[in-house]
Amino acid sequence: MKQDKTEDQKSVDVQKKNITKEYKTEDLIVFWYPAECSHSGKCMKAMPEVFNPEKRPWITLASADLENIIKAIDSCPTGALRYKLPEGSKIDPNKAKGPGSVDYKPDATTAVQIKAVKNGPFLVRGPIRLIDADGELIKESSQMVLCRCGLSKNAPFCDGSHMK
């Protein structure tokens, strides 16, 4: 049976989950939450010139079309990528209201949808509150990718281990 975590272990877990990386231009701020990334590669396929894990930093916003970056972030399945418009941004705010926006709120009346990916995770969509065994809130979001193979080192989130 799985042993209960000590308070120290819990605190390390919380710190790991809270790491946020920030990438800025005058018109767009992008956030990346590594602990939530399932390494699906969708962002890299959409814009390899912007999202490139071989480079440091792995996200480069300069000289790319920022509205296309917003679209790529809106299609991130886990919510590991997010964006917001800084004050004075030249981007039309109506084009920055998708699920990748930090201010995005899903319609509370929408039914939650859970889709099993063949040999992969559960894709969850809707207004979601994920609660741990102690009743503590792990994450509140409109999208999550949850491990169903048991191999993730970042359970309950999928970390891409099912692909190895």
What is the number of other CB atoms lying within 10 angstroms of the CB of residue 155?
12
Q: Are 90 and 27 in contact (CB under 8 A)?
A: yes
Note whether 34 binds ligand SF4 by CB under 6 A. Answer: no
Query: Which does residue 78 bind out of ligand SF4, ligand FES, none, counting CB within 5 to 8 angstroms by kind?
Result: ligand SF4
Rounded distance between C-alpha atoms, residue 93 and residue 20, angstroms = 23
- What is the smallest separation between the CB atom of 127 and ligand FES, expressed in angstroms? 23
Among residues 98, 102, 122, the alpha carbon closest in space to that of 20 is found at 102
Q: Does residue 78 belong to the site contacting ligand SF4 (CB under 6 A)?
A: yes
Residue 147 binds which entry of ligand FES, ligand SF4, none, with Cβ cut-offs from 5 to 8 Å by kind?
ligand FES
Asked if residue 114 binds ligand FES (CB under 6 A), the reply is no
Closest CB 24 distance from ligand FES, rounded Å: 31
* Conformation bin of residue 158: beta by default, left when phi > 0, alpha when psi is -120 to 50: beta
Nearer to ligand FES, 59 or 146 (CB): 146
Establish if 141 lies at the interface with ligand FES (CB under 6 A).
no
Tokens of 149: 């193979």
Instruction: Give residue for tokens 């000289």.
Output: 63
